[in-house]
Chains A and B, each alone.
Chain A
């Protein structure tokens, strides 16, 4: 397995003169899960979209193995799970999955109960939770080297959350994963390393106490 490193640096993003991101330094290697935490409006989703390439900031430096990449998605190196549903309606799930899922994961993917149950249906025929599970699986099993997960645990039940954690951890052996979610305890469970976004800057987290220091948590129970 080849080792690659994704680096993000010098991101500058502002909306209406309000600086959202200004001092971001983030690194993720294959085999690693980085947890990205931050309060509402801190710029977590914007940062993931900037890395993916779907949001253009005033300035950004994103590289893989020190080679600058203009668009994370255009050469298939980065996949992104957005907060909203993204699968187009009117096309069968099996046809959509074949375009996203890596061939080496195909057998494993097709054994997932949610896929076996719904592969012949279209996105419009599924409930919100079922669709979210399939969308998350299709991104986690994507052929990209780096996976960005924006709130993968938010729209699914606790049982399904527990189901996803080992899958994410297993896929991280072959991929680098950056995950963000407001259910921080789930992020703590899967992440090897944590980063907090505060006042537009990334801060490394060395212990849960730092989450209080950076005002992400009001206290530790």
Chain B
């Protein structure tokens, strides 16, 4: 279990910069296209950002897959677990930011 978590985190860390960058790009596209942001659009941008980062990593640095395979894991499993971690992080970040915005509004009023 600990090994699985560490390997998932390592893969997640490899993707992190691209994941954030692509997510911002998709949010910008959504903002330009729809003119507003809501939870559904943000979630769509997050999922698209992760998929874009994973595809780019698979295309440009596929040789690193052998590291995870030599650790005894299939890439499908690692990518899926990293994706779930990303969604959980997104939900936590969304809730935290919403709570802060609500608290600031409450204090001001």
A interface residue numbers (CB < 8 A to B): 52-54, 71, 73-76, 79-80, 82, 84-91, 95-96, 98-100, 138-139, 142-144
Contact = CB atoms under 8 A, between A and B. Distances in A.
Contact of A74 (B3, B6, B67, B73): B73
- Chain B residues touching A, range: 10 to 19
Nearest to B3: A99
B72 A86 contact: no
25 contacts: A54-B66, A54-B69, A71-B74, A74-B72, A75-B72, A76-B71, A80-B69, A80-B70, A82-B66, A84-B63, A86-B63, A86-B65, A86-B66, A86-B67, A86-B70, A89-B64, A91-B14, A95-B6, A95-B10, A96-B10, A99-B7, A99-B71, A139-B70, A144-B70, A144-B72
B39 interface: no
The 7 closest A-B pairs by CB, nearest first: A76-B72, A86-B66, A88-B64, A73-B69, A99-B71, A79-B70, A84-B63
A144 B66 CA distance: 14
B10 A82 contact: no
Contact of A88 (B10, B69, B73, B74): B10
Contact of A96 (B61, B67, B73): B67
Interface in B1-44: 3, 6-7, 10, 13-14
Contact of B63 (A82, A95, A138): A82
Contacts of B67: 86-88, 96, 99-100
Nearest to A143: B72
Contacts of A86: 63-67, 70
Nearest to B6: A99
B9 to A, nearest CB: 10
Name the residue in B7, B64, B69, B73 with the highest tally of chain A Cβ atoms < 10 Å from its Cβ.
B69
A87 B69 CA distance: 11
A54 B64 CA distance: 13
A4 to B, nearest CB: 16
Contacts of A71: 74
B61 A88 contact: yes
Nearest to A139: B70
Given A74-B73, A99-B71, A80 B3 contact: no
Contacts of B69: 52-54, 73, 80
A85 B74 contact: no
Nearest to B69: A73
A139 B7 CA distance: 17
Nearest to B71: A99
